[in-house]
Amino acid sequence: MIRDSGGRSFEKTPLNQRHRAPVEAMPSDDGAPEGEGRQRIDKWLWHARLARTRSVAAALASAGHVRVNGARVRALGRMVRSGDVIAVVLDRAVRVLKVIAIVERRGSAEAGRALYEELT
């Protein structure tokens, strides 16, 4: 037991054990449980063929040119799921898209267009 200047006593905790939660107990950025039907924003943009490469998709998101449900994407790890509305600034135009599907592998241009519904 250690006493502070006010006379209160407390137990000292090692530095490596303070404010730590197990990794599996930490919530995701949008509060949803981990699982199927979700994908990183940069990967989804690439699969939907809105960006030619995944690094270009990551650059779009990190530069602030992408919004998900009205909120600017601040981290590339932002997950999207079916029903989310995405606004992307491409070539001086804003495209507003509704996510219809999530896929694991990038497909053809037709498969990419099937991942979203154009709202603009």
* pLDDT tens-digit series, residues 75-114: 988 999 999 999 999 888 999 999 999 999 999 999 999 9
Three-state SS sequence of the chain: CEECCCCCEECCCCHHHCCCCCHHHCCCCCCCCCCCCEEEHHHHHHHCCCCCCHHHHHHHHHCCCEEECCEECCCCCCEEECCCEEEEEECCEEEEEEECCCCCCCCCHHHHHCCEEECC
For the domain covering 34-118, report its CATH number.
Answer: 3.10.290.10
Closest CA to 70 of 83, 86, 58: 86
Q: What residue segments make up the domains of the chain, in order of their start?
A: 34-118
**pLDDT category, 10, cuts 50, 70, 90?**
low
Q: What percent of the chain is predicted at pLDDT more than 70?
A: 75
Cα–Cα dist 118/96, whole Å: 6
Cα–Cα dist 56/64, whole Å: 13
pTM score? 0.69
Q: What six digits make up the tokens of 57?
A: 């998709």
The residues pairing with 30 across neighbouring beta strands, listed in sequence order, are none
Cα–Cα dist 7/28, whole Å: 40
